[in-house]
């Protein structure tokens, strides 16, 4: 199991960026950080920058796991990309596509 230190960044409506320190479990994609409470503002984007400088997009549903891209064969055998959560229990997981 690898735990990387890094910075969790949330970008709010109007461009406000809030950074908190956190860790990323690279096996499960789970992020551990202090929850940010910003009341009425709209969350636009969340990502985690690990200690190696790699940026991981964070699930917009559970806010606790990074996401991955899966390719699914759709109508007419057309391949489409879907960004899903690494947490199998999340509503945004690959199982719920
Ligand atoms: Zn999720």
The region, left, alpha or beta by phi > 0 then psi within -120 to 50, assigned to residue 96 is alpha
Q: How far apart are the first and last CA of the chain?
A: 28
Classified as helix, coil or strand, 75 is helix
Q: Are strands 31-33 and 16-25 parallel, antiparallel or unpaired?
A: antiparallel
CA 46 / ligand 1 centre spacing (Å): 12
pTM, two decimals, is 0.84
Over its length of 97 residues, how does the chain's per-residue pLDDT go in tens digits?
Answer: 899 999 999 998 888 899 999 999 999 999 999 876 656 568 889 999 999 999 999 999 999 999 999 998 888 889 999 999 999 999 999 988 8
Per-residue confidence (pLDDT) for residue 15, from 0 to 100: 86
Per-residue confidence (pLDDT) for residue 75, from 0 to 100: 82
Q: How far apart are CA 43 and CA 97, in angstroms?
A: 23
CA 60 / ligand 1 centre spacing (Å): 7
Per-residue confidence (pLDDT) for residue 92, from 0 to 100: 95
CA 53 / ligand 1 centre spacing (Å): 22
Q: How far apart are CA 18 and CA 7, in angstroms?
A: 10
């Amino acid at each position: 199991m690898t735990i990387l230190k890094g910075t969790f960044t949330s970008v709010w409506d109007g461009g406000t960026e809030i950074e908190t320190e956190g860790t990323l479990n690279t096996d499960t994609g789970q992020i551990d950080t202090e929850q940010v409470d910003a009341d009425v503002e709209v969350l636009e984007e969340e990502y985690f920058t690990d200690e190696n400088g790699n940026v991981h997009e964070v699930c917009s549903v559970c806010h606790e796991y990074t996401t991955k891209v899966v390719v699914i064969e759709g109508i007419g055998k057309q391949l489409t990309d879907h960004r899903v959560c690494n947490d199998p229990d999340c509503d945004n997981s690959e199982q719920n596509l």
